[in-house]
Structure 1
């Protein structure tokens, strides 16, 4: 077992028992589809699901229903595929759960990375679309925003769950009806959407692995205990305005008064140490940087483990050119693993971004042109399955293998 896998196993909660999965195996497209679509009640639905995934893998250019139908059957097929994606009754949740369990069996994950995805749109009618400012792009965009939960292994990452962020404007009666938004959906902030996307996947009893996510848009005080309750270790990027209590004996002059992270980091420059770690996203490259590690706790009752005392957390400042303030700040409950391992976890976000760009986008993860909530969810579910097939390198029929 690798050092990384060993560290992950040591970090697991003793109360979280992993389910049993099938032995690793290489399956063909039909065999994998039989696993994914076992929950679909009708054979024609299972056949259309396989045709759609085949189209996502083989069609050149935009993966529209029209282009997929042209590949697999023509105009009549276009109508039936449109119904299968937008108007049919099959549930995407069981398909995603089957995909997640398959991925775990053949490429055991080292972490679950929760990552937003922006989907630019020309019009305003696609479900969830808004015109808003996206800091990561530095501009206003007319776009949908979704959150993916990715299983990240040593050499690949695969999305296993998706959640579409919906603002309050989408719950006006006319917009909700036109987009077929279900009654149990509700408006969410990006942070709420990210947390719920992961909690949905965690309910499938997947292995306990660190959850890596940007939590600057979340209520960290409520996010941390909810992850701990699921038995999931965590590595959360936080905002430097977050208030925490210092518990580290190496940092003198601090009492239990909650203080902003920026103040804690400013007082901790003497604890800064050089760290070297492997960057899995670019092969055998090793990176180095200055990392500050300070023991902290969330203030108040939310910062306690089931009433037994403060939850021991580690605040990590990752160096920048400005030695007075770190470029990034992360919060984790993995207090006993080396900083190099924590930096490797941090780098898994880059792996997901690369696999999204060079893999998931090639199978059309952003290409759904319909307007309905259900259609969007079914499309990204099948695109995730197509990405998994390609990333796992099943090249028997020549349609897979772009992931190299």
Structure 2
């Protein structure tokens, strides 16, 4: 039930201060409270009936799907709060998969999920997670529109997709989200950890991160080009790993790393030159050295994963900690989805999708900041000047 002046009300008042209408701020608190307190499926109807004791789902649905409030200042405030409290050590990028039964929700199509390794009817998105020893929190989101939506004017109109929103590569969306964090919100840059294995554009991802001056650890596969010899021959990561596997004394076993029995090697990819038509291809061609951390499988010479990083001077334990944070982020995102209703969104609009994931971030941040181990490191949100909360009055949006 709604409780006047409790800490969730104070938290929401601070978070939603950018919303121009009082009613928007009140409905924002109702929705976040529902995501926090309502057990099981967190549908709009169940939230309104359980918290308000009456059917107010039409008004709540309107707030999420149609109301004009801007989600960006809310995300910025969440990023500020969790940045102070968590002291994150990485921004881990994860794919968001939201299965759907119909085809009219924004961005829905038969799409391949890298996470699940199969094609399904779903929405796909990206989330940037701030991850540290104290926990994990989503700080920015992007919806990936399929190419089929670019020319489907009927579905675009029904879902109110802005004209400028078109299909683009996932790395383009990632760069946009990172630029918003670092340039727009002036968040302290963190090492970007992202799985690009299986992506034909892993090189473009790495170059984009380096252009922005961001530290990174990018998981790649064996076909990724890493060097070009003077003869013009391209050396792939798989070629380099095959040579490393034949070497003696290069494999180590991590202690307290990403998992028990983590056998790894590190190798340097030297900066290489190159000129002519082939210059500029392969990540080894930029004038800098990179390090590769390789996790070996149980079979001789088999590779479980390989990560390229520009932190060539970093100690191996620090790099292994980054990889451990990546594994943790995936598990935390799964728990977040279950606890905070990420997959329970019933709306169909572009605006509604972004509103919902932002409010999910708010609900998760509230839970996270209440943990004793986290609360000690955060400032207290300011109380609203009026002292009024959603418990005082809930009205329909005009």
- Under TM normalisation by the shorter chain, which class is it? 0.7 to 0.9
| Distance in 2 separating the partners of 1:368 and 1:344 | 34
Residue 391 of structure 1: aligned partner:
368
Is the counterpart of residue 202 in structure 1 residue 178 in structure 2? no
User: Equivalent of 1:237, from 219, 236, 248?
Assistant: 219
Report the CA distance between 1:59 and its aligned residue. Answer: 0.9
Report the CA distance between 1:302 and its aligned residue. Answer: 7.6
Residue 97 of structure 1: aligned partner:
76
Is the counterpart of residue 43 in structure 1 residue 59 in structure 2? no
Report the CA distance between 1:394 and its aligned residue. Answer: 5.4
Is the counterpart of residue 294 in structure 1 residue 294 in structure 2? no
Query: Which structure has more RCO (C-alpha within 8 Å, separation ≥ 6)?
Result: 2
In the TM superposition, structure 1's runs of 4+ consecutive aligned residues that sit over 4 Å from their partners are 253-257, 301-305
Structure 1 residues 106 and 387: alpha-carbon distance in aligned structure 2, compared to 1, 3 A threshold: same
Structure 1 residues 239 and 108: alpha-carbon distance in aligned structure 2, compared to 1, 3 A threshold: same
TM-score computed with the length of structure 2 as normaliser: 0.82
Which secondary structure does the structure 2 equivalent of 1:267 belong to? helix
Please say if residues 147 and 162 of structure 1, whose CA atoms lie closer than 8 Å, have aligned partners that are also in contact.
Answer: yes
Greater Cα radius of gyration, structure 1 or 2: 2
Residue 352 of structure 1: aligned partner:
329
Deviations 1:169-224 (A, max 9, x none): 11221111111111221102334334433333333221121100012326233322
Q: Give aligned pairs, total.
A: 357
| Distance in 1 separating the partners of 2:131 and 2:115 | 22
Structure 1 residues 303 and 241: alpha-carbon distance in aligned structure 2, compared to 1, 3 A threshold: closer
Report the CA distance between 1:130 and its aligned residue. Answer: 1.6
Please say if residues 266 and 325 of structure 1, whose CA atoms lie closer than 8 Å, have aligned partners that are also in contact.
Answer: no
User: Equivalent of 2:358, from 381, 388, 403?
Assistant: 381
Residue 166 of structure 2: aligned partner:
186
Which secondary structure does the structure 2 equivalent of 1:119 belong to? strand
User: Equivalent of 2:344, from 355, 363, 367?
Assistant: 367
| Distance in 2 separating the partners of 1:119 and 1:87 | 20
| Distance in 2 separating the partners of 1:297 and 1:65 | 55
Which secondary structure does the structure 2 equivalent of 1:353 belong to? helix
User: Equivalent of 2:156, from 146, 171, 176?
Assistant: 176
| Distance in 2 separating the partners of 1:96 and 1:218 | 31
Residue 30 of structure 1: aligned partner:
9
Structure 1 residues 145 and 175: alpha-carbon distance in aligned structure 2, compared to 1, 3 A threshold: same
Please say if residues 208 and 231 of structure 1, whose CA atoms lie closer than 8 Å, have aligned partners that are also in contact.
Answer: no
Report the CA distance between 1:113 and its aligned residue. Answer: 0.2
Residue 5 of structure 1: aligned partner:
none
| Distance in 2 separating the partners of 1:327 and 1:296 | 23
Q: Which moved more, 1:229-238 or 1:368-377?
A: 229-238
Q: Which moved more, 1:223-232 or 1:166-175?
A: 223-232
| Distance in 1 separating the partners of 2:120 and 2:32 | 29
Please say if residues 132 and 325 of structure 2, whose CA atoms lie closer than 8 Å, have aligned partners that are also in contact.
Answer: no
Residue 329 of structure 1: aligned partner:
306
| Distance in 2 separating the partners of 1:191 and 1:232 | 14
Report the CA distance between 1:88 and its aligned residue. Answer: 0.7
Structure 1 residues 52 and 135: alpha-carbon distance in aligned structure 2, compared to 1, 3 A threshold: closer
Q: Which moved more, 1:181-190 or 1:102-111?
A: 181-190
| Distance in 2 separating the partners of 1:235 and 1:383 | 27
Report the CA distance between 1:376 and its aligned residue. Answer: 0.8
* Structure 1: tracts of 5 or more residues without a match: 1-26, 247-252, 396-404
Please say if residues 359 and 391 of structure 1, whose CA atoms lie closer than 8 Å, have aligned partners that are also in contact.
Answer: no
Please say if residues 274 and 289 of structure 1, whose CA atoms lie closer than 8 Å, have aligned partners that are also in contact.
Answer: yes
Deviations 1:260-286 (A, max 9, x none): 111111112227320414357xxxx76
* Structure 2: tracts of 5 or more residues without a match: 1-5, 373-398
